[in-house]
């Protein structure tokens, strides 16, 4: 009798460095893991690979000077306003150092109230809405994050105190009403709603770029880049550079699918995953600082799950087995409509963690099974 349903295994990988051909390494490590720990490769199994592993193997890094040079091309002169950055020491702070270095005039950082885009609070009272723009003389400037204990406004300003001015605003409408720079240049620093903000600002006469425009092409022959996301999805690497989101992701997942099938005789589905779409219930902070959960997946991971609400069938007195096996399309009432890649990426991210587990590859079985699958 079968007792296990979905099983997600974190696979310990060798330490991967730049220039490694990742596909054969992952395929061989999976085979060795199965032999050592006595698990099988099953039909409809899923392999998740973290985006950072792919980007590192590609050498997709940029230096802070690369960021400065890219910003200087986008804004050759004048003051620039940075609208609504996230509050992060490993995400935004490193890129901010490079951005500030590329701006010739003043840098005006405008923090969104009552929180940044991913839920980090920027004030004490999330309901204390006020009209206007507030500066460094406001109580917002002295606010410290309740979880990290950091004052992000001061942290960002201290990068270049004479060059950076800090402001706070409750929403874009307040910004449009009350904040006008001489040359009206804005770098939109939000992740997920960047285009909506950029479109509105452009309609009001601003010259607008987003983080996706920075390092979207190589600044120098050997520098990294991401043509779709630029700096979005970047992360701290060392004091002098950041890692970008990986490139050529669809090619990678297709190659890995083929390599594992050749070694095992079983065709898996493959996805690359970044941050899971997970909201922490205690802090209200979203995990999703990447531009999306999964930049690429094989064809079997398109769409949404086909699921039946098992407990509702039991309570209704229906023929449960018949109803489950008849549900070949769609989702039943009560099942959450989400994309497979978002669900699986979140499962992979929570399984691998973000610290020192050393399991950047996840192997999942049983995900497409139902209660009656043998």
State how far the Cα of 16 lies from the Cα of 34, in Å rounded to an integer. 20
Q: Given this model, what pLDDT does residue 374 score? A: 81
State how far the Cα of 100 lies from the Cα of 96, in Å rounded to an integer. 6
CB contact at 8 A, 352 and 272 = no
Helix (H, G, I), strand (E, B) or coil at 365: strand
From first to last of its 374 residues, the chain has per-residue pLDDT tens of 788 889 999 999 999 999 999 999 999 999 999 999 999 999 999 999 999 999 999 999 999 999 999 999 999 999 999 999 999 999 999 999 999 999 999 999 999 999 999 999 999 999 999 999 999 999 999 999 999 999 999 999 999 999 999 999 999 999 998 877 666 999 999 999 999 999 999 999 999 999 999 999 999 999 999 999 999 999 999 999 999 999 999 999 999 999 999 999 999 999 999 998 888 888 889 889 999 999 999 999 998 877 777 777 777 777 777 877 776 555 555 556 789 999 999 999 999 987 678 899 999 999 998 888 88
Give the contacts of 153 (CB within 8 A, at least 6 positions apart): 109, 111, 122, 136, 140, 141, 143, 166, 168
Instruction: DSSP for 46-104, please give it.
Output: EEEEEHHHHHHHHT-EEEHHHHHHHHHHH--SS-EEEES----TTTHHHHHHHHHHH-S
Tell me 199's DSSP state: H
pTM of the entire structure? 0.91
Q: Given this model, what pLDDT does residue 373 score? A: 81
Q: Given this model, what pLDDT does residue 200 score? A: 95
User: Do the domains spanning 7-58+246-303+339-365 and 61-243 agree at the CATH topology level?
Assistant: no
Angle at 68 between CA 64 and CA 70, to 5 degrees: 115
Tell me which residue of 309, 315, 277 sits closest to 293, measured CA to CA.
Answer: 277
For residue 109, what are its two tokens? 């950082």
Q: Which residues pair with 121 in a beta bridge?
A: 115
Q: Given this model, what pLDDT does residue 299 score? A: 96
Q: Given this model, what pLDDT does residue 354 score? A: 72
CB contact at 8 A, 286 and 346 = no
CA distances from 247 to 40, 68, 251, 255, 317 (A): 31, 21, 9, 14, 51
| Domain residue extents for the chain | 7-58+246-303+339-365, 61-243
Residue 111 host element (H or E): strand 107-112
* CATH fold of 61-243: Rossmann fold (3.40.50)
For residue 93, what are its two tokens? 């702070």
CB contact at 8 A, 181 and 79 = yes
User: What is the dotted CATH code of the domain comprising 7-58+246-303+339-365?
Assistant: 3.30.1330.100
Question: Could you check whether the bond before residue 114 is cis, i.e. omega within 30 degrees of 0?
Answer: yes
State how far the Cα of 138 lies from the Cα of 233, in Å rounded to an integer. 31
Tell me which residue of 131, 266, 110, 117 sits closest to 201, measured CA to CA.
Answer: 110
Tell me which residue of 51, 64, 57, 58 sits closest to 16, measured CA to CA.
Answer: 57
């Amino acid at each position: 009798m079968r007792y296990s349903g979905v099983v997600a295994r974190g696979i310990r990988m060798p330490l991967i460095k730049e220039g490694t051909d990742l596909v054969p390494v992952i395929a061989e490590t999976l085979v060795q893991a199965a032999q050592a720990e006595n698990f099988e490769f099953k039909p409809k199994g899923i392999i998740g690979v973290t985006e950072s592993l792919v980007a590192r193997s590609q050498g997709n890094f940029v230096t802070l000077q690369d960021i400065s040079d890219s910003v200087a091309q986008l804004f050759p002169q004048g003051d620039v306003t940075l609208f609504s950055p996230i509050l992060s020491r490993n995400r935004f702070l490193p890129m901010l150092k490079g951005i500030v270095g590329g701006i010739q005039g003043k840098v005006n950082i405008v923090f969104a109230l009552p929180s940044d885009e991913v839920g980090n609070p920027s004030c004490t009272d999330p309901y204390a809405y006020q009209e206007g723009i507030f500066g460094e003389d406001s109580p917002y400037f002295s606010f410290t994050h309740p979880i990290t204990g950091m004052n992000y406004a001061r942290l960002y300003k201290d990068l270049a105190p004479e060059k950076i001015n800090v402001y706070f605003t409750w929403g874009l409408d307040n910004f449009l009403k009350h904040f006008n720079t001489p040359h009206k240049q804005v770098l939109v620093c939000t992740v997920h709603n960047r285009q909506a903000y950029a479109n509105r600002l452009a309609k009001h006469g601003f010259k607008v770029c987003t983080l996706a425009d920075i390092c979207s092409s190589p600044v120098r022959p050997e520098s990294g880049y991401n043509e779709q996301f630029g700096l979005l999805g970047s992360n701290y690497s060392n004091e002098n550079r950041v890692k970008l989101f990986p490139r050529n992701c669809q090619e990678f997942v297709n190659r890995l699918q083929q390599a594992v099938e050749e070694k095992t005789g079983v065709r898996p589905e493959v996805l690359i995953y970044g941050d899971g779409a997970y909201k922490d219930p205690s802090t209200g902070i979203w995990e999703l600082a990447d531009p999306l959960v999964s930049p690429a997946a094989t064809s079997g991971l398109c769409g949404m799950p086909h699921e039946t609400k098992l407990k509702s069938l039991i309570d209704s007195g229906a023929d449960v087995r018949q109803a489950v096996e008849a549900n070949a399309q769609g989702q039943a009432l009560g099942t959450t409509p989400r994309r497979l890649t978002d669900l699986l990426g979140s499962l992979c991210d929570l399984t691998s963690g973000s610290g020192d587990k050393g399991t950047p590859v996840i192997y999942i079985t049983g995900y497409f099974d139902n209660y009656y699958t043998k």
